[in-house]
Structures are given as C-alpha cells and as structure tokens.
C-alpha cells in the first residue's frame, strides 16, 4: 500500500480509495435507513404531540373541575331565582323559560329534539375558539347562535369561549349579545377563558408574509387556549385552520373538532387573481401582482401556504361552510385530504334576523306608498366592499337622465372602525364630488339600528358590490325587508341568495359600472315591484335562525356522542 508524506516528512493516511465492497455496503445501509426514517420520524413526531397533549390535560384538570363546579353553582342559583320569581308571579316553573329543544331531524333523534338514546344528558365541555367574540359582526352572530342551539339541544353541556376581550366581563358580554343580536343565552352554562396572545394574529403584527405570520400566531393562540383548558369538543368559528391542526397533533381522535368556515384563508380565486391574464386577474386586492420576480415569489409562497392550510384544515372531523361559494373552494383545497372522514363538507347558512325584519318592516300594497327612489348600500367602509364601483355606476345612471334616474338618491350606510376607514370615507366623498353626484349621495356613519330599519322600509333597491362576497348577510337583510337586490355577480349573493323563486327573479346581478347602472334602471322600472319584494322575502326564509340551529345540530350531533363528558360536579 502506498503512503504519501507531508512536507515535514510525517506519514499520512493511505491515498488508495476504500474497497468497492465497503462503498456498496454503505449505499445499501443508506437505502435501508431512508424508508425506515420515513416511517419512524412521523411516528416520533406524532408521539411527541400526544405526550405534550397528555401533559396539557393533566395541567388543566383543576381548571376543568373549577369550571364544572362553577356551572353547577350558578345553575342552582339560577333555578332558585326562577322558582322565587315564578312563585311571586303565580306562574308555573318553566312556563316562561322559552327553552324549547331544537329539532334535529337526524337518524336516532326524535322529531321534538329529544334523542332516542338520551344523549341530551351529555355533560362535557364544548369550547368555541373565537378570540374576537365581542366584535359584533356576522361571524359573532354565528358564534352566539351556535352556542344557543348547543344549549337547547344539550342543556347539561358547558360552553366555553376562548376570547381575547379582556376588558369585557361575562355579564357585559351576554348583555351585548342580547341587545345586538336579540340572542338570549343561558348564563350558568356559558364561561369565558381569556387569551393573552391575541395580538399575534393581527395583520399589523406581520407587515410581511402576513398569511404565514397570522397562521403561526393562531397556533400560538391555540396553545394558549389548551394551556387554559382542554375541552371535550373543540370548535373553531373564526377560520383558524392551523388551530385545528394543533388540536389533532396534541390530542388525536381523543378530541373531536369542528370548523365553521366563513371564508377560506386562501382560495383558488386568490391564486388565480395574481395572473393578470386569468379570468379573475383584475379582481381582488392582489389583482395582477403575480408578474416579475417578486410576483413569482408571491405565487410560490401562496401555493406553499395553500398546501399547508389544506392539510391542517382537512384534519377537522366536521367542516361547515357559510355558503356554496365557500364550500366549493374548501372542497377544492381540503376535500382531497378528507377521504377518511365520515361527514362531507356541508353548507350551513349563517343565521340572519329574518323574523325580526319581517316584524319591523312591512311589505304590502300599503307599504309601497312609503318606498322612495333610494339605492341603499349597507356595508363597512372597507376596501373590498368596492364603494367606488357603486359611486361610478350611480353617476352613470344619473347621467342617463331617464325617468327612473330622476330624483334617485344613493345612501351609503356603514361603520367606521378606525382612522383608515375615516380616510376612506373622505376619499369617497371626494369621488362623489368629482362625479358631480355629491348632492344625491348620503353617508350614514355608525347609524343606529332603528335608523337602518327606517331606511330598509323606505328604500327600493339594496346594493352590494363586493367581488366574491363569501355569503352576504346584508343582502339577506335586503330581501327580508323587501328590497330589490342588485349585487355583484359572484360569491354567495349570486350562488345562494339572489336566486330565482318560483321561476321568477328576486333581483339582478352585475359586474361593471355600466352593468350596475343598467340594473338600477331595471330595478326601478319593474312593472310589479311588490311581487318581486314578496318573492325576495320568501327567499330570505331559507336563512332564519331556526334553520341555522337545525342544521348546526344535525352536523354536530356525532361529535357529542363520540366523547361523553365527565360527570358534572353536584
């Protein structure tokens, strides 16, 4: 064997290569270890998650016991208070409670809501992950309606809400729910656990890579939630799919999970909108931004995020969406990874105060005399609501000088959340001035509900211009109040709400300013507007709070059977 020497004369290692047999042996070893690692590493990852989950359960047992004990104590006080009230008023106990069971109409369930196998005695803890529960929007209406339906169907269950609204007490929160949504909850079985990590999901915290940053923040927030309490059923009602993924990693099948998706965090339409040559390349806040080096990086980033989002979201045992549009996109993203799940992705329309609007707003031959030539647009002053499009369409309509256009006014009603919204309203006022329609456009900022009801009773047309509005609660409110809707030809308003009833239209669809202007003309020159208003009101009955409760329980029943809660502390 030859040896080479260094300059100082010291002997070095042999320079001949290793025998071929050793190289072959190493290659074989690597080939054997690679698939083994492919199998072992995921198992180790899974085991690590379950270990962390077990530790969280142990650490939160005391708080679980305290919550159940508090529920029992408040239930006893509430019952005693009702008995005293009933005695003083001369009514039988329970005569005025109003707590009727929700009809579920599912196999194994009696028609009056009383289950055949007595699972209404389920007494575990169901937790709702909704860190912004005091926001007062449509998403919050879904949360509180879901809790009410759960309370009515499972009166012994305890409902816990993970929230970041530290400054709001339980009594203040429930009072706001009652006044804002007319939803009355049973206080003893509702509790709030306060998160300290909500700022991690704010867009302002992540000025770059916002999607990934907020998703990471939702994982941190979910860990915060499970560190406070590990429930028996976990429900995400805000769209934090990565929180569902964390729940499955930590607890596996031991913690049933459900998701109510208002809109996909990322959708195929969003991905397509980056391409200026695609059908939706001129729509949305990121329209046409997929060009150049920066655009290519954004495309790859979004596609990687979509893959991760799909994997974690698909892990949920039950998935509900608020519209057919959302269902379509969630099915495209999550569906291929949910082949082992029993329940398909279901549409559960959000609850709308249809009954209240029917009581408050008259739609009849007599009420037609109160209707004015008002185009009403109720929407927050956010950029995606596209108020500019409606102003441009209204200006074009006014310039047509048709009899329908003469004397018509546009009223924009919406809340102003911050300085950015205030600046946006100022810019809209400038635009109205530039379009020479300032005197015929009215802005109603933060209008009280009674003023909104008055406008719904006097207006003739309800407008919505948002591209791919995921559902459109405001459009349902238009219909319930008898307005003829003119909406963007996309999303929930097109697919679910402004559809034909009895083969006849309930409103009109449009995309461009010219199309909206033409639709305004049609809506204000209907030969029989009352017939259209009555059809619209009939259409709105599909979105009542009662229908939401029925569908919610229909989807959720299997989860409550899957893991009965621990016995309540008496």
- pLDDT value of residue 114: 44
- pLDDT value of residue 18: 47
Q: Express as a percent the part of the chain with pLDDT over 70.
A: 82
CATH code, 354-542: 3.40.50.2000
- Positive or negative, the CA dihedral 481, 483, 487, 491 is positive
- pLDDT value of residue 419: 85
DSSP 438: G
Kindly tell me if the per-residue pLDDT of 2 is higher than 80.
no
DSSP H helices in 90-193:
138-153, 170-181
Kindly tell me if the per-residue pLDDT of 388 is higher than 50.
yes
- pLDDT value of residue 87: 64
- pLDDT value of residue 39: 67
Local confidence band at 489 (pLDDT 50, 70, 90 cut-offs) = very high
- pLDDT value of residue 101: 44
* pLDDT, tens digit (0-9, with 9 covering 90-100), for 107-153: 334 344 444 445 678 889 999 999 999 887 888 999 999 999 999 99
Kindly tell me if the per-residue pLDDT of 335 is higher than 80.
yes
Annotate 496-544 with DSSP letters as a single string.
Answer: IIS--BTTB-SEEEE-SHHHHHHHHHHHTT-S-HHHHHHHHHHHHGGG-
**C-beta neighbour count of 202 within 10 angstroms:** 14
Q: How far apart are CA 141 and CA 568, in angstroms?
A: 29
- Say which residue, 541 or 90, is predicted with more confidence: 541
- pLDDT value of residue 195: 96
Tokens of 275: 């391409």
Tokens of 121: 């005695």
On average, the pLDDT of the chain sits at 85
Kindly tell me if the per-residue pLDDT of 247 is higher than 90.
yes
pTM: 0.81
Enclosing H/E stretch for 5: strand 3-5
Q: Express as a percent the part of the chain with pLDDT over 90.
A: 61
**Which residues, listed in sequence order, are joined to residue 173 by a DSSP beta bridge?**
none
- Sequence ranges of the domains in the chain: 41-73+115-262+564-570, 354-542
- Mean pLDDT of all residues in 388-407: 95
Give the Å distances, CA to CA, from 217 to 75, 138, 201, 232, 264. Answer: 36, 23, 5, 23, 17
On whether the 41-73+115-262+564-570 domain is CATH 1.20.1250, my answer is no
Enclosing H/E stretch for 444: strand 441-445
- Mean pLDDT of all residues in 295-320: 89
- pLDDT value of residue 274: 62
- pLDDT value of residue 250: 96
């Amino acid at each position: 064997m030859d040896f080479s020497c260094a300059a100082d004369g010291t002997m070095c290692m042999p320079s001949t290569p290793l025998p071929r047999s050793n190289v072959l042996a190493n290659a074989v070893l690597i080939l054997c270890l690679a698939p083994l690692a492919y199998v072992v590493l995921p198992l180790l990852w899974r085991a690590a998650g379950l270990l962390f989950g077990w530790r969280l359960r142990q650490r939160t047992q005391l708080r679980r016991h305290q919550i159940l004990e508090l529920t029992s104590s408040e239930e006893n006080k509430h019952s005693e208070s009702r008995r005293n009230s009933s005695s003083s008023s001369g009514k039988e106990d329970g005569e005025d409670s109003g707590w009727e069971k929700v009809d579920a109409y599912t196999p194994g369930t009696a028609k009056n809501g009383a289950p055949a196998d007595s699972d209404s005695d389920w007494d575990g803890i169901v937790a709702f992950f909704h860190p912004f529960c005091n926001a007062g929007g449509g998403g919050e209406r879904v949360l509180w309606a879901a809790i009410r339906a759960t309370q009515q169907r499972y009166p012994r269950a305890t409902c816990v809400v993970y929230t970041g609204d530290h400054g709001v007490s339980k009594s203040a929160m429930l009072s706001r729910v009652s006044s804002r949504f007319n939803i009355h909850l049973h206080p003893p079985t509702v509790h709030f656990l306060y998160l300290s990590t909500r700022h991690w999901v704010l867009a302002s915290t992540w000025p770059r890579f916002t999607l990934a940053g907020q998703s990471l923040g939702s994982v941190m927030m979910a860990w915060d939630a499970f560190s406070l309490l590990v429930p028996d059923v976990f429900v995400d009602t805000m769209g934090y799919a990565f929180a569902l993924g964390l729940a499955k990693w930590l607890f596996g099948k031991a913690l049933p999970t459900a998701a109510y998706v208002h809109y996909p965090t990322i959708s195929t339409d969003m991905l397509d909108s980056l391409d200026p040559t695609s059908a939706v390349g001129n729509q949305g806040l990121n329209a046409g931004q997929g060009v150049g080096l920066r655009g290519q990086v954004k495309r790859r980033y979004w596609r990687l995020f979509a893959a991760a989002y799909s994997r974690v979201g698909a892990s949920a045992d039950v998935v509900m969406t608020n519209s057919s549009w959302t269902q379509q996109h969630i099915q495209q993203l999550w569906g291929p990874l949910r082949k082992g799940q029993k329940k398909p992705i279901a549409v559960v329309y959000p609850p709308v105060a249809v009954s209240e609007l029917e009581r408050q707003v008259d739609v009849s031959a007599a009420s037609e005399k109160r209707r004015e030539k008002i185009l009403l647009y109720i929407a927050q002053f956010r950029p995606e609501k596209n108020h500019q499009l409606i102003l441009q369409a209204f200006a074009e309509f006014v310039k047509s000088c048709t009899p329908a256009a003469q004397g018509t006014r546009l009223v924009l009603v919406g809340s102003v959340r911050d300085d950015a919204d205030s600046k946006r309203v100022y810019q809209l006022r400038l635009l109205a001035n530039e379009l020479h329609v300032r005197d015929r456009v009215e802005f109603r900022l933060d209008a009280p509900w009674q003023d909104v009801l008055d406008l719904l009773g006097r207006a003739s047309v309800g407008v919505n211009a948002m591209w791919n509005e995921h559902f459109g609660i405001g459009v349902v409110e238009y219909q319930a109040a008898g307005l003829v809707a003119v909406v963007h030809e996309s999303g929930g308003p097109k697919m679910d709400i402004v559809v034909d009833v009895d083969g006849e239209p309930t409103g009109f669809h449009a995309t461009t300013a010219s199309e909206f202007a033409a639709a305004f003309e049609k809506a204000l020159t209907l030969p029989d507007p009352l017939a259209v208003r009555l059809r619209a009101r009939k259409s709105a009955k599909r979105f009542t709070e009662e229908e939401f409760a029925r569908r919610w329980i229909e989807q959720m029943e299997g989860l409550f059977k899957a893991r009965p809660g621990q016995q309540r502390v008496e």
